[in-house]
Amino acid sequence: MRLTTGAVALALALTAAPACADAPWMNPALSPDARADALEAKLDEAQKISLLHGRFALAAYYGAFAGDAPPSIPGAIGSSGYVPGIPALGIPALQETDGGLGVSDAMDEAWNTGATPLPANLALAASFDPALARATGDVAGQEAWRRGFNVLLAGGVNLTRDPRGGRNFEYLGEDPYLAGTLDGQLIAGIQAQHVVATLKHFAFNDKESNRYADDALIDEASARESDLLAFELAIEGGAPASVMCAYNLVNSAYACGNDHLLNDVLKHDWRYPGWVMSDWGAVHSAKDALAGLDQESGEDYDAQVFFGTPLADAVKTGEIPQARIDDMVHRILRSMFATGLFDHPPVKTPIDYQADGLAAQHEEEEGLVLMKNDNILPLTKDTPRIAVIGGYANVGVLSGGGSSQVIPDVPAQLLPTVFMGEGLAGNHTRAVIDPDAPLAAMRDLAPNAQFRFDPGNYPSAAAQTAKWADVVVIFARKWQTESQDVPDLTLPDGQDAMIEAVAKANPHTIVVLETGNPVQMPWLNDVAGVMEAWYPGGNGGHAIANILFGVVDPSGHLPMTFPRDETQLPRPILSGQDAAGQVTSTDYNIEGADVGYRWFAARGLSPLFPFGFGLSYTSFGFSHLVLSDQHGLTASFDVANTGKLPGAAVPQLYLTARNGAHTLRLVGFSRIPLAPGETQHVTLTIDPRLLADFDAKADDWQVAAGSYSLSLASSAADIDETGSISLPAARIAP
Ligand code: GLC
């Protein structure tokens, strides 16, 4: 926390909190639970109920004409959510902002004064770097705090069950161990800044089509071994103060009124002490409180303020016990104490855009994935003629849409898009180009080269420009957004034809993808290089240029499988489309826990690019794998940089067989920077739940006795060395 003592004094003075003497809950030496207990004793029923529901803080704005300044809801600083505090008791208001990629604009470009756009979380996932996730959380949490917010609605960890999902760019890929581990660190970083993070969207909100009324069907064991495992690991790693339940149904009960998910799994099995807030407009009854919901968010979007008078009335009639109300209040207050909202209230402080921009750049440099390199990369700085084509590369880099949309602190190009999605985020109809142009950054690194830019709108013109050049760099883009999935895996707007024409004109062509999901590449054999930059963030142009010219070694590895086409998917046709609000269903039992690479392995399918795949400008070797169960299950091995350039290896460890039966699960990974010729010895500890089956009847994890094969690999499809170990039977509580 970068705070001066003066700022702290100012903060404390501003909150005018009661002195400790007559407010024992202000004593930081007490535990969060003890402080909450002491405070609750002072609350009357109306005050308790007032803490259980909140508004979308730009609510009236969406009734007014777009572009108006947001109306002032007394006490709210604006943005996504506001729950009034109780100043006389020192309870701060909850000032809530989105989102998962930095301090977002609550879908309102006109209002936001700017923040640092972080790259898509797919870049963070591709880094396979928990320390980077923590650092990214620090940056996001710090900017939220400095803007006056004490809740950042970040921490999304829904798995990529469908590579057409509109919000996959906000999440961390298809594997529960990778996603849950990184999300936990992201949350820990945010909360270290005394800002509440919200693990979301609990659960199975894995696509956007008909998200308000799609019923996710999945058996218990599969659920626990996939999406729920990601949430469980994130809770263990990051202790999120809050969990946001999702819009959709799960096994025919709305997620925010789902007794099994919220009470049985989250609060009983996982002993979760924090509070469950709803998504905005996701509450259907006051009785959702009985199912485990603790707070109604964005009440403006519900049929009524269920957690206001209806909740109070239900207590009076005995339909909802007072004890439940007290528990709801306790969960909120103890989590506010635990995160420091009472002791370290936000102090409006200028944001260090330069430092945070460099942090975003570093994240993108670690998360960009080099997918093909036929001796064309890295570019040399004395390349005479370089053509740059498409992707608005002369202006900036693409970002994703919806509640996570961050508006940078410098003027950004807003592009009209051709879609209006459903509901809240449907109003967000413009794509934001983060203004760090790859073209300018490339010119900076190769000042003697001649550059020509072509927007890529006409294949013939683009081909003409390509003919002139020694090397061509095409930027291909695919905009994704909350509230809408994409119908297929193709690049839109004729980009495939343009790439084909350019590659035909000049085979020394590199394609840089700015996408929020996997895409098909019909031109793959005709180009010399491909890299996936995801949504590159506020310094994305510099990050991409640094990798193109070898200033930084590419070290990203795919956090999601790139299919050849939709026929390889569990649901070739996306479910829930054109449902017009009717309840539809998505049968996740088709793949069960075999999400992504596990589905491909179980069916012997060969994807375009496998999970975990990523090239470097150097090369690495893995050796000397040793498995041990002496002090918990560990895998030790050596990683060597066998090339001539510095780089970062990402060895992956997979469970590949159990008692001879083939399986495939990521059970360990590490990111190891290595100088040329350097070797490091690595030891990974393996969580036994990753080897286990969830026993729904016994409600625990079962590790069967027998032989386990664990393989070192550079991707889910590239196994290097396998070892095996015999393990005794074990049962592990959830
Ligand atoms: C949404 C999103 C959620 C966001 C909330 C507030 O519709 O699903 O992720 O935090 O509204 O904007």
Residues in contact with ligand 1 by the CB-under-6-Å rule are 80, 98-99, 153, 200, 279-280, 403, 424-425
Of 474, 489, 492, whose CA–CA distance to 419 is shortest?
A: 492
Mutation to probe ligand 1, out of 280, 301, 484 (largest number of atoms < 8 A from CB): 280
Orientation angle between helical segments 353-367 and 540-548, nearest 10 degrees = 40
331-366: pLDDT as tens digits: 999 999 999 999 999 998 999 999 999 999 999 999
State the distance from the centre of ligand 1 to the C-alpha of 436, rounded, in angstroms: 27
Q: Residue range 634-643: average pLDDT?
A: 98
Q: Which residue has a Cα nearest atom 11 of ligand 1?
A: 280
Strand partners, 450: 385
State the distance from the centre of ligand 1 to the C-alpha of 588, rounded, in angstroms: 23
Q: How confident is the model at residue 72 (pLDDT cuts 50, 70, 90)?
A: low
Please answer whether residues 78 and 62 qualify as being in contact, where contact means their C-beta atoms are separated by less than 8 angstroms: no
pLDDT at 505: 98
392-448: pLDDT as tens digits: 999 999 999 989 989 888 877 777 665 544 455 544 567 889 999 999 999 999 999
Strand partners, 679: 640
Alpha-carbon torsion (595, 599, 605, 610), positive or negative: positive
State the distance from the centre of ligand 1 to the C-alpha of 152, rounded, in angstroms: 11
pLDDT at 429: 61
Q: Residue range 184-210: average pLDDT?
A: 98
Mutation to probe ligand 1, out of 198, 254, 482 (largest number of atoms < 8 A from CB): 482
State the distance from the centre of ligand 1 to the C-alpha of 96, rounded, in angstroms: 11
Mutation to probe ligand 1, out of 80, 149, 202 (largest number of atoms < 8 A from CB): 80
Taking residue 131's Cβ as centre, other Cβ atoms within 10 Å add up to 11
Please answer whether residues 384 and 470 qualify as being in contact, where contact means their C-beta atoms are separated by less than 8 angstroms: yes
State the distance from the centre of ligand 1 to the C-alpha of 280, rounded, in angstroms: 6
Please answer whether residues 190 and 233 qualify as being in contact, where contact means their C-beta atoms are separated by less than 8 angstroms: no
Indicate the range of 2-11, 12-21, 585-594 predicted with least confidence: 2-11
pLDDT at 551: 98
Please answer whether residues 659 and 704 qualify as being in contact, where contact means their C-beta atoms are separated by less than 8 angstroms: yes
**Ligand 1, atom nearest to 425 Cα:** 7
pTM of the full predicted structure? 0.95
Q: Which residue has a Cα nearest atom 8 of ligand 1?
A: 279
pLDDT > 80? residue 183: yes
Reported as type and span, the H/E element at residue 236 is helix 227-238
Encoded tokens for 638:
């050596």
State the distance from the centre of ligand 1 to the C-alpha of 37, rounded, in angstroms: 30
The letter for the amino acid at 405 is Q
In this structure, the dihedral spanned by the alpha carbons of residues 388, 390, 395 and 397, taken in order and rounded to 10 degrees, is -100
Reported as type and span, the H/E element at residue 37 is helix 32-40
State the distance from the centre of ligand 1 to the C-alpha of 540, rounded, in angstroms: 25
Mutation to probe ligand 1, out of 424, 427, 481, 483 (largest number of atoms < 8 A from CB): 424
Encoded tokens for 134:
């923590």
Encoded tokens for 240:
């999120």
Please answer whether residues 222 and 589 qualify as being in contact, where contact means their C-beta atoms are separated by less than 8 angstroms: yes
State the distance from the centre of ligand 1 to the C-alpha of 426, rounded, in angstroms: 12
Q: Residue range 35-55: average pLDDT?
A: 98
User: What gap in Å lies between CA 462 and CA 497, rounded to an integer?
Assistant: 11
Q: For every residue of 444-487, which 3-state class applies, written as one string?
A: HHCCCCEEEEECCCCHHHHHHHHHHCCEEEEEEEECCECCECCC
pLDDT > 70? residue 620: yes
Sequence-ordered alpha helix ranges (H) in 642-726 = none
Q: How confident is the model at residue 18 (pLDDT cuts 50, 70, 90)?
A: low
- In the chain, the N- to C-terminal Cα span, in Å, equals 34
Please answer whether residues 563 and 569 qualify as being in contact, where contact means their C-beta atoms are separated by less than 8 angstroms: yes
DSSP 712: E
pLDDT > 90? residue 691: yes
pLDDT > 60? residue 456: yes
Q: For residues 702-722, b (16+ Cβ closer than 10 Å) or e, as one string? A: bbeeeebbbbbbbbbbebbee
pLDDT > 50? residue 185: yes
pLDDT at 1: 33
Strand partners, 372: 530
Contacts of 631 (CB under 8 A, 6+ apart): none
368-384: pLDDT as tens digits: 999 999 999 999 999 99
Encoded tokens for 403:
């509640």
pLDDT at 333: 98
**Ligand 1, atom nearest to 403 Cα:** 12
pLDDT > 70? residue 152: yes
Q: For every residue of 565-593, which 3-state class applies, written as one string?
A: CHHHCCCCCCCCCCCCCCCEEEEHHHCCC
558-573: pLDDT as tens digits: 999 999 999 999 999 9
Encoded tokens for 267:
């609060």
pLDDT > 70? residue 110: no
State the distance from the centre of ligand 1 to the C-alpha of 106, rounded, in angstroms: 9
Lateral strand order in the sheet of 94-97: 81-83, 94-97, 151-152, 196-202, 242-245, 275-277
State the distance from the centre of ligand 1 to the C-alpha of 682, rounded, in angstroms: 40
Cis peptide preceding 163, ω within 30 of 0: no
pLDDT at 397: 97
Please answer whether residues 665 and 598 qualify as being in contact, where contact means their C-beta atoms are separated by less than 8 angstroms: yes
Q: Residue range 320-330: average pLDDT?
A: 98
Q: How confident is the model at residue 73 (pLDDT cuts 50, 70, 90)?
A: confident
pLDDT at 369: 99
pLDDT at 462: 98
**Ligand 1, atom nearest to 246 Cα:** 8
Mutation to probe ligand 1, out of 168, 201, 245, 403 (largest number of atoms < 8 A from CB): 403
Determine what percent of the chain falls in helix, strand and coil, rounding each to the nearest 5: 30, 25, 45
Q: Residue range 474-502: average pLDDT?
A: 96
258-289: pLDDT as tens digits: 999 999 999 999 999 999 999 999 999 999 99
pLDDT at 3: 36
Taking residue 362's Cβ as centre, other Cβ atoms within 10 Å add up to 20
Reported as type and span, the H/E element at residue 257 is none
pLDDT at 56: 87
**Ligand 1, atom nearest to 200 Cα:** 9
Q: State CA 506 to chain mean position distance.
A: 37
Q: Which residue has a Cα nearest atom 1 of ligand 1?
A: 280
Please answer whether residues 308 and 299 qualify as being in contact, where contact means their C-beta atoms are separated by less than 8 angstroms: yes
**Ligand 1, atom nearest to 201 Cα:** 9
Q: Residue range 386-397: average pLDDT?
A: 97
3-state secondary structure of 134: helix
State the distance from the centre of ligand 1 to the C-alpha of 403, rounded, in angstroms: 6
Q: How confident is the model at residue 70 (pLDDT cuts 50, 70, 90)?
A: low
pLDDT > 90? residue 215: yes
Q: Which residue has a Cα nearest atom 9 of ligand 1?
A: 403
Please answer whether residues 294 and 324 qualify as being in contact, where contact means their C-beta atoms are separated by less than 8 angstroms: no
Of 107, 87, 84, whose CA–CA distance to 97 is shortest?
A: 107
Contacts of 13 (CB under 8 A, 6+ apart): none
The letter for the amino acid at 104 is S
State the distance from the centre of ligand 1 to the C-alpha of 651, rounded, in angstroms: 35
Please answer whether residues 76 and 82 qualify as being in contact, where contact means their C-beta atoms are separated by less than 8 angstroms: yes
Q: Which residue has the tokens 């999406």?
A: 227
State the distance from the centre of ligand 1 to the C-alpha of 298, rounded, in angstroms: 9
Q: Which residue has a Cα nearest atom 3 of ligand 1?
A: 279
User: What gap in Å lies between CA 33 and CA 25, rounded to an integer?
Assistant: 10
Indicate the range of 94-108, 293-307, 494-508, 705-719 predicted with least confidence: 94-108
